[in-house]
Amino acid sequence: MIDEDLSEEIQEWMKKEVKKRDADGVVIGLSGGIDSSVVAALSKKAFPENTLGVMLPANGTISKDVEYAEMLADKFDIETLKVNMDDINRPLENRLKDIEIDGVEREYWPQTKIPTPNPAEQNIQTRLRMMTLYYIAEKMNYVVMGTSNKSEIKTGYYTLYGDGATDMRPIGDLTKTEVWELAKELEVPQEIINRPPTGGCRGDESDRDEKEFGISYEKFDRIYKEMSNGNDLSKFDESDVARVEELIDSAKNKEKTPIFQLN
C-alpha cells in the first residue's frame, strides 16, 4: 500500500525541482493512459495556474487516446493543446524508409527483452512527441514532466530520447501497481484506471504492455519488490521469476551512455 501522504510529498518535490530550474510551470504529454493522467493530476494540484497538457496524436494514436486525455483534462480543469503529429509523422517515416540501407529483423526493442515489430518506425512518433513537448516547454519556460513509472524504467519499456527524455520523473520510483493506487486516491476517472496499458504506437491496442512483458504488472511488481529486498522467491512460479530477472538484466544499462575515460 502507498503512503497516505504520497500525493502531497510528490507535489512538494515537484515544486522544489521546478523552482531549482527557475521555470514557470510544467508541460505533460497526455496520452489517455494511467501514467500521464496521474502525472497531470499531480501537476495541476502543484501548479494550479501553470500546468499544460498536450495531446500529440500520431500514427499510433487511436480515438480512445484523445477521448480519455480530454476526459482527464476536463475532470481536473487542465489547460490543453492538441498538436496533430500525423501530418509530420507519416511524411518523415516515408522519407526515412527511402534511405538506401539494409534493415535487419530484430526480436526485441533495443536494450530490452520485450518483443516488437519495427522499432525504428514506431520510435519515430515518440521522438517527434518529445521534440514538440520540448519546443513548447522552452517557449514557455516550463519543464517537461516525464510519465514513466518504475516498472517501465526497470524493464526498459520506453524509447531513448523519446518518452524517456524528460526533465523530471515524478512517478519514476513508483511501480505500476502503486501508480494505480495513487490514481484511485487522486480520483482519476475509473475508465482510465481500468484501461489496459498499451504502448500507443501501432494505431490499435495490440501492443498491450503485459502481453509484451510476458507477465502481468501485478506479478512483476510483487516479484521485483521481494527481489529488491533480498527475500525468498520460492513462493513464486520459477518461470515468472526468470522472466522478471531477464527483463531487468537486459535493460540495466539502457540509460547509461558509455564514456571513454582518459588514464
Alpha-carbon distance of 63 to 102, in angstroms, equals 34
**Arithmetic mean of pLDDT over the chain:** 93
CA trace torsion 134, 136, 141, 147 (10° rounding): -50
40, burial (CB in 10 Å: exposed 0-12, middle 13-18, buried 19+)? buried
The pLDDT score that the predictor gives to residue 118 is 80
What would the mean pLDDT of 85-105 be, rounded to a whole number? 90
Residue 206's pLDDT band (cuts 50, 70, 90)? low
Residue 203's pLDDT band (cuts 50, 70, 90)? low
What would the mean pLDDT of 174-203 be, rounded to a whole number? 88
What would the mean pLDDT of 190-203 be, rounded to a whole number? 78
Least confident of 14-28, 49-63, 79-93, 161-175: 49-63
The pLDDT score that the predictor gives to residue 54 is 98
Least confident of 35-49, 98-112, 246-260: 98-112
The pLDDT score that the predictor gives to residue 64 is 85
Contact of 261 with 119, CB cutoff 8 Å: no
Residue 62 above 90 pLDDT?
A: no
What are the tens digits of pLDDT across the range 130-159?
A: 999 999 999 999 999 999 999 999 999 999
If one compares 116 and 191, the residue with the highest pLDDT of the two is 191
- Residue type at 114 in one-letter notation: I
Cell, residue 44:
495541476
Q: Which residues contact 258 (CB under 8 A, 6 or more apart)?
A: none
Alpha-carbon distance of 85 to 170, in angstroms, equals 26
**Domains observed in the chain:** 6-251 (3.40.50.620)
